[in-house]
Chain A
Amino acid sequence: MIFDIEYETMPREALESIQLKRLQTVLSHVYATVPFYKKKLDDAGILPGDVKTLKDLQRIPFTTKQDLRDNYPFGMFAVPMANVVRIHASSGTTGQPTVVGYTARDIDTWAGLMARALSAAGATRGDIIHNAYGYGLFTGGLGVHYGAEKLGASVIPVSGGNTKRQAIIMRDFKPTILTATPSYTLHLAEAAEEMGISFKDLHFKAGIFGAEPWSENMREEIERKLNIDAIDIYGLSEVMGPGVSIECLEAKKGLHIFEDHFIPEIINPNTGDALPYGDTGELVFTTITKEAFPIIRYRTRDITTLNPEPCVCGRTHVRMNKVSGRTDDMLIIRGVNVFPSQIESVLMQVEGVEPHYQLLVDRKDNLDTLTVRVEINEKLFSDEVKQLQQLESKISKDIKETLGVSAKVKLAEPKSIARSEGKAARVIDNRKI
């Protein structure tokens, strides 16, 4: 169901004209109220009035996570504190937390967008929403909560943790929509199963999962184990929180970005150049309706692709692919950008290969070398060396064709590669540069 028919299905031309008007307004607003933006624009020699087309946005400098840290805590706020009604902050595991603020209108806008997101996943007034996102400084819990109320659904603000109680509530309150992180969902399913509560006997029809990257394989696992439709949601506190983009139930192929509120761009993370639709690169957002914490060309460090093709659901808003990685993970090999996740998807295309791999990067005679170690398993193992070598060259050829980079593939013994998700285990870069 489409919550806001007018805006969500607006013809591109009308949508872009609204975007431009809103962009011009927000640029004037931040230039006048946030010293950081005034200085950035002055240094770049561009005034808000110089932005005459959407393409002109590309002339404005980026905003980075570091900029937010430098202006900790409230330096990027564009309204007086008297107008700020809510403050959220990111966890700050890698440094200072980033702090964001909302006016009353911002909260209402956010609730509206989250209501759109819930609707796209099939939720209606009649649904009971089990909201297991954490409530607190993290935007997940409250973001979903306000959207659910805006939609008119019944929301259970169960928050994260206390898994046993969650399982009992799921059994007794009969919620129909689950909102949680995908990893917590699988944990919850396991714990419930141990208590004798089978997810298949519950009343869930769909789940909305986000706040962490998750693969298509994980979607299949969740859908099978829980017998629901698993929908991907995207958002980040710097831009707003959950509800920046959402998959539609009809297509489940790419997340519609609510473009009447956010302008997305894809850039080459090395050069900063804007890339055309269809190219893979770093996702950049400009918010065009937020009051307290507008953000201009914010580099999310998330890697994805934008797809402008019309969608079966009727929404005209561009779709972003599932986030496939982070720029932090990016390797540059002989000038080619390589993401571990891209190698992973090549491997997943090869019959019998499991995503247990490791990338070894080295430099020999001033030339970068990439070695991909891939774990063998019983399905792949042949008694004949020739066949194993053929498998190695097939993977190598697929990597070359897909990524344009030569890699030596080495089969490895099972469980010889660490099972962590982190970059440390996946990539060993021995280059001395």
Chain B
Amino acid sequence: MQTEQISIFIENKAGRLSDVTGILAETGINIRALAVADTSDFGVLRLIVNDNSKAEEALKNSGFTVRKTRVVAVKVDDNPGGLHRILDVLKTAGINVEYMYAFIQQSGDKAIMIFRFDQTEEAINILLDNGLTVIDGSTLSTL
């Protein structure tokens, strides 16, 4: 039920982000979700793409430091309180959210959020027990 995300180290200098997107475009990789966490010096770029292995190889060949991380994709009701419900469930269970970001989806009445937990397995169980929908990686790449 987990999803694989690739994380890339980038220095905070002009054009670095577009270098990454350029490499992925050339390799024919589709970016499905993207988030940047940065400090004044560097950033960690997190990506969900349609082909992780191909993306990882292309980026490594261009000299980037790449790492795969396990994240969880959760369906969110596209109405007030949708996200709050998920966070509330996690809070009650004492699960810590390291970070989260939105998945790019063109249509539908549901949004998808990507979560990184410190205890991934427990988080998935709690979410499922509370009737929430967790999307696994293979399904996600077909959306």
Which of these binds chain B: A331-339, A405-413, A424-432?
Answer: A405-413
- Contact indicator B44/A412 (Cβ below 8 Å): no
- Contact indicator A383/B42 (Cβ below 8 Å): no
Residue in A closest to B8 when the chains form the complex, CB atoms: A381
Q: Closest CB of chain B to A335's CB: distance in Å?
A: 27
Q: Closest CB of chain A to B27's CB: distance in Å?
A: 19
- Contact indicator A383/B116 (Cβ below 8 Å): yes
Give the contacts of B53-104 with A (CB-CB under 8 A).
Answer: 63-67, 69, 98-99
Residue in B closest to A412 when the chains form the complex, CB atoms: B11
* A385 at interface, CB cutoff 8 A: yes
Q: Closest CB of chain A to B102's CB: distance in Å?
A: 18
* A389 at interface, CB cutoff 8 A: yes
Q: Closest CB of chain A to B124's CB: distance in Å?
A: 18
Interface centre among A376, A378, A413, A416 (most CB of B within 10 A): A413
Taking CB atoms, residues of chain A closer than 8 Å to B65 are: 376-378, 381, 413-414
* B3 at interface, CB cutoff 8 A: no
Residue in A closest to B71 when the chains form the complex, CB atoms: A383
Taking CB atoms, residues of chain A closer than 8 Å to B46 are: 383
Q: Contact partner of B63 among A382, A385, A414, CB < 8 A?
A: A414
Assuming the A-B contacts A383-B69, A384-B98, are A415 and B42 also in contact, with contact meaning beta carbons closer than 8 angstroms in the complex?
A: no
- Contact indicator B44/A383 (Cβ below 8 Å): yes
Taking CB atoms, residues of chain A closer than 8 Å to B37 are: 385
Taking CB atoms, residues of chain A closer than 8 Å to B116 are: 383
- The number of chain B residues with a CB under 8 A from chain A is 22
Q: Closest CB of chain B to A239's CB: distance in Å?
A: 45
- Contact indicator B9/A413 (Cβ below 8 Å): yes
- Contact indicator A413/B63 (Cβ below 8 Å): yes
Q: Contact partner of A411 among B5, B41, B67, CB < 8 A?
A: B41
Residue in B closest to A377 when the chains form the complex, CB atoms: B65
* B39 at interface, CB cutoff 8 A: yes
Interface centre among A377, A410, A415 (most CB of B within 10 A): A410
* B10 at interface, CB cutoff 8 A: yes
Main secondary structure of the interface of B (DSSP, over half): strand
* B51 at interface, CB cutoff 8 A: no
* A388 at interface, CB cutoff 8 A: yes
Taking CB atoms, residues of chain B closer than 8 Å to A378 are: 65-67
Taking CB atoms, residues of chain B closer than 8 Å to A385 are: 37-39, 43-44
Assuming the A-B contacts A383-B7, A384-B98, A385-B44, are A415 and B39 also in contact, with contact meaning beta carbons closer than 8 angstroms in the complex?
A: no
- Contact indicator A411/B9 (Cβ below 8 Å): yes
- The number of chain A residues with a CB under 8 A from chain B is 17
Interface centre among B5, B9, B37, B69 (most CB of A within 10 A): B9
Bound Cα distance A378, B6 (Å): 13
A354-373 vs B, CB cutoff 8 Å, 1 = contact: the mask equals 00000000000000000000
Give the contacts of B1-17 with A (CB-CB under 8 A).
Answer: 5, 7, 9-11
Assuming the A-B contacts A388-B44, A389-B39, are A413 and B67 also in contact, with contact meaning beta carbons closer than 8 angstroms in the complex?
A: no
Bound Cα distance A410, B10 (Å): 12
Interface centre among B5, B10, B37, B66 (most CB of A within 10 A): B37
Q: Closest CB of chain B to A397's CB: distance in Å?
A: 17
B19-50 vs A, CB cutoff 8 Å, 1 = contact: the mask equals 00000000000000000011101111010000
Given A378-B66, A381-B67, A383-B67, list of 18 further CB < 8 A pairs? A378-B65, A381-B7, A381-B65, A383-B7, A383-B44, A383-B69, A383-B116, A384-B98, A385-B38, A388-B9, A388-B39, A389-B39, A411-B9, A413-B9, A413-B64, A414-B64, A415-B63, A416-B11
B residues adjacent to A (C-beta < 8 A): 5, 7, 9-11, 37-39, 41-44, 46, 63-67, 69, 98-99, 116
Give the top 7 A-B pairs by smallest Cβ distance, nearest first. A383-B7, A383-B69, A410-B41, A385-B37, A381-B65, A376-B9, A413-B11
Instruction: Provide 30 A-B residue pairs closer than 8 Å at the C-beta atoms, listed in order of the A residue.
Output: A376-B65, A377-B65, A378-B66, A381-B7, A381-B9, A381-B67, A383-B5, A383-B7, A383-B67, A383-B69, A383-B116, A384-B44, A384-B98, A385-B37, A385-B39, A385-B43, A385-B44, A388-B9, A388-B42, A388-B44, A389-B39, A410-B41, A411-B9, A411-B42, A413-B9, A413-B63, A414-B63, A414-B64, A415-B63, A416-B11
